[in-house]
């Protein structure tokens, strides 16, 4: 009985070990494909906010009296 439990535990451990690397690779690729457009959007927003405009910056303007 103990031998069967040990073999089952070893099989589960081996399966988890063999599945770990492909899972990490897949999740890493998914994360980078999701993060790239978000990073590009953030950079476009930074560039847009840094541009000089002909209109005053309403965020910094004093409220009317």
- Averaged pLDDT, groups of 10, the chain, 65 residues long: 94 93 89 88 88 71 66
pLDDT at 50: 79
- Per the rule left: phi > 0, alpha: psi between -120 and 50, beta: everything else, 57 is beta
Instruction: Tell me the domain boundaries of the chain.
Output: 1-47
Say how far apart CA 59 and CA 65 lie, in whole Å: 16
Token output for 5: 């439990």
Q: What angle (nearest 5°) sits at the alpha carbon of residue 14, between those of residues 33 and 26?
A: 5
pTM check: above 0.85: no
Phi, psi of 54 (to 5 degrees): -80, -20
Longest dimension (CA), the chain: 86
């Amino acid at each position: 009985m103990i031998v069967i439990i040990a073999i089952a535990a070893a099989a589960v451990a081996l399966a988890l070990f063999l599945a770990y690397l492909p899972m990490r690779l897949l999740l890493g690729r998914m994360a980078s494909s999701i993060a790239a457009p978000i990073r590009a959007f953030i950079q476009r927003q930074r560039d847009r906010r840094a541009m000089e405009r002909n209109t005053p910056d309403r965020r910094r303007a004093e409220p009317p009296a």
